[in-house]
Structure formats: C-alpha cells, structure tokens
C-alpha cells in the first residue's frame, strides 16, 4: 500500500535521499519547498516518490528493489496520481530516479505506457571557474533589478506586470514570504515591464537551484545570460552555490550555463508517459 506522508513526517525520508542526487528532493524533504511524498510505510519508509510542488516531475527515492512498492506503482498512478493530476491539468507523468538504479525499475514497471525518455544535465559552480568576462552587453533600454525590490513594494505601479513575477515564484514556493526568507533573484526590466527573471527555484542548505524565464518577445537578446551573471555573482559574494538543471537538448540553456563557467557535475535520465 502506497500512502501519502504528512509534511511533519518528511524528515523520516531524509536518510533515504541520495546526497549526490537532485537538489529538489532534498529541498522538499526538508520542507523548504512545497511538494508531496508518498511512501511504502508511513512509520518506517524504505521507498517512496516525491511529487514536486511545481508539478514538474516525480522523483523516486530509497530502495529500488522494494517489490511490494514497485508492484503497487501502476495502481497508485491510476487511482491516486491521475485523479489528482486532472485537478491541476497535468497531462504528463515525468519520472526521475534519485539514483540511477531506479532507471531499470521505471523502464520495466512502465513499459506498457508508451514510455519516453530524455537526458538531463546538472551544473554547479566550482571554485575559480566563474567567467565574469563573458557577461554580455544588452541594449540600454533593458535594466537589471533585484526581484525583491518589486516584491516588497511597487511604488505608483511602476512595474506593470508584477503578477508575472508572483506567478513564477508561487510555482516553486508556498508564498512570496517564503521565497524572500530563503531565495533571491534578479530580473530584467524593459519599459516598466519585467521581461526576464532568474531566481532561486529550489534551495537546500547553501545551494540554490536556478530557474530562468524570458518572455518570448524578448528572447534572443542575451537577457537571461546577463541576469544569470548577476545571480551567480550574488551567490559568490554570500558563499552560496548556484545549481543549474536543464535538459540536454535545451542547447540555449546549456550554453548559458557553460558560458558563465558552471561545470557539469552529473547527469540523469528522465522518463515520461501520458496521463490521458
């Protein structure tokens, strides 16, 4: 029987999380970022799956050879995940192993579901690797600002689309206040509108997982790369570690990470199938 774990009991899973695995798993187990955890035994879990709070995937952790848990997975997805996914209009299941031994389990367990797969790359900044001289110039009309300035106050509605900023933050955080306590970020402003953001999506310890988005009309102008430099410099000044997780096929994202000097520290495989 796979059951949902109460948030107050998430700490029971901490010993099962791979320290060299995804930052998101640690951030949720430690109750920094929102998410849900389902386990084989709520009193003494051995295996489980984390549903990321931003609905961006499911991370399998713990003992991958737990036959009772693995046998129940398809029934769990059909009767628990699919009804819950419909409520938030989630149409795809994206499964990730917290360690690579889960890959074979997912391939076997979900082989009847038209399983797709992709490669993911994780980058981090190592001591002395930052390429500050690669910071690109952008058009003068674009101005870099600290995101927190617009979250605390927006005098005379100087920024027209603060709702965009709040929506991005609430994809990852329980509240704007929680983000302000734990995270940081920068944005690019153009004609009183926020057009690009770079901020802490997930946080665990002193490691900050970067999320970036640039509005479509302003893409291709190196805005993301520019504000990513500001984010990384802020990290270095405050003894924080930037962490970048992106799909291998996302060449622009890979290029930004590598141009800044972030180093590929590990890779993992993701699997997906339709929930419809």
Per residue in 124-169, pLDDT (tens digit) is 998 889 998 889 999 999 999 998 877 766 666 678 888 888 899 9
Which DSSP category does 192 fall into? T
pLDDT at 134: 87
HSE-CB for 73 with a 13 A CA cutoff: 26
Domain boundaries, the chain: 3-120, 132-260
Instruction: Pinpoint the alpha helices (H) of the chain.
Output: 23-29, 67-76, 82-87, 101-109, 147-152, 162-172, 176-182, 223-237, 251-260
What residues of the chain score a pLDDT lower than 70?
A: 152-157
Residue whose entry in the numeric block shows the structure tokens 């009193």: 43
Taking a C-beta distance cutoff of 8 angstroms, is the pair 151, 258 a contact?
Answer: no
| CATH fold of 3-120 | Aminopeptidase (3.40.630)
Q: Is 236 exposed, middle or buried (0-12, 13-18, 19+ CB in 10 A)?
A: middle
pLDDT at 156: 64
Say whether 88 sits in a helix, a strand or coil. coil
**Same fold across 3-120 and 132-260:** yes
Q: Which CATH number fits domain 132-260: 3.40.630.30, 3.40.190.10, 2.40.30.60, 1.10.1200.10?
A: 3.40.630.30
pLDDT at 164: 87
pLDDT at 56: 85
* Cα→Cα distances 206→23, 27, 40, 101, 182, Å: 11, 11, 31, 27, 10
């Amino acid at each position: 029987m796979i059951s949902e774990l109460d948030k107050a009991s998430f700490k029971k899973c901490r010993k099962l999380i791979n320290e060299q695995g995804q930052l998101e798993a640690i951030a949720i187990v430690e109750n920094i970022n929102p998410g849900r955890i389902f386990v084989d035994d709520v009193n003494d879990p051995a295996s489980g799956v984390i549903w990321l709070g931003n609905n961006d995937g499911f991370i399998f952790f713990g003992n991958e050879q737990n036959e009772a848990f693995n046998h129940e997975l398809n029934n769990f997805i059909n009767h628990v995940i699919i009804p819950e996914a419909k409520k938030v209009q989630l149409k795809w299941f994206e499964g990730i192993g917290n360690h690579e031994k889960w890959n074979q389990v997912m391939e076997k367990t979900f082989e009847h579901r038209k399983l797709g797969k992709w490669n993911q790359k994780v980058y981090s900044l190592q001591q002395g690797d930052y390429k500050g001289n690669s910071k690109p110039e952008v058009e003068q009309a674009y101005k870099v600002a600290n995101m927190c300035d617009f979250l605390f106050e927006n005098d005379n509605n100087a920024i027209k689309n603060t709702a965009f900023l709040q929506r991005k933050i609430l994809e990852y955080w329980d509240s704007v206040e929680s983000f302000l306590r734990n995270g940081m970020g920068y944005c690019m402003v153009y004609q009183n509108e926020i057009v690009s953001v770079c901020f802490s999506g997930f946080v665990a310890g002193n490691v900050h997982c970067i999320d970036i988005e640039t509005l479509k009309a302003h893409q291709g102008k190196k805005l993301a790369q520019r504000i990513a430099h500001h984010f990384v410099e802020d990290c270095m000044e405050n003894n924080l570690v930037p962490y970048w997780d992106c799909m291998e096929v996302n060449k622009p994202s890979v290029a930004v990470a590598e141009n800044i000097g972030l180093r590929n520290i590990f890779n993992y495989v993701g699997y997906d199938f339709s929930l419809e």
